[in-house]
Amino acid sequence: MSTRNPYASSDYDPEERWEEKANCKGMAFTLFEYAEKDSPACKDMDYATRMAFNRTNFELAAEICIECPVMFKCIESATAEEKAWTVRGGLIPTRFINEAHRYDNQGRPAKAGQDRICSRGHHVKGGGRCKDCKRMRDVAAQRDRRASTYTPKGVS
């Protein structure tokens, strides 16, 4: 009976460690990550400056990604959350795209009548409040009211 050595080089699968071959390995993560208004990198920046900062970072990151030997593996293995907040395979984070659609260039909500994306990512045709999010808030409020009627006074 032969036993295999798990540390032998013949057992090493190069597909398991594709991150080792990535062009972005060892680079500053801020180049690939969406920076929100409370991010230390964007401290004291107004909306337009912050969005320009993110856009510039993402363009530089895309240039690095386009020549990466594992670009497609990076896209395939990314979770929805990683795709929302970071550049993966040269693709701009969906959080950045959603925020750019929700606001005008000064950071004010988009004009009434224009389609927009709500904070949870729902498409709102014609602007205004998101009916899906409002419905979820109403259901949660009803649930809380029902729960409070069954709770003895003084118990929270």
DSSP code, position 94: H
- d(C-alpha 64, C-alpha 70), whole Å: 11
Report pLDDT digits (tens) over 28-37.
Answer: 888 899 998 8
Q: Is 96 helix (H, G, I), strand (E, B) or coil?
A: helix
Q: What are phi and psi of 20, to 5 degrees?
A: -65, -25
Domain ranges (residues) in the chain: 17-108, 113-156
- d(C-alpha 96, C-alpha 52), whole Å: 11
Percent of the chain at pLDDT above 70?
Answer: 74
pLDDT at residue 61 greater than cutoff 90: yes
State the pLDDT at residue 132: 81
**Alpha helices by DSSP H, 27-70:** 47-66
State the pLDDT at residue 57: 92
**Burial class of residue 14, CB neighbours in 10 A (0-12, 13-18, 19+):** exposed
Mean pLDDT for the stretch of residues 132-139:
78
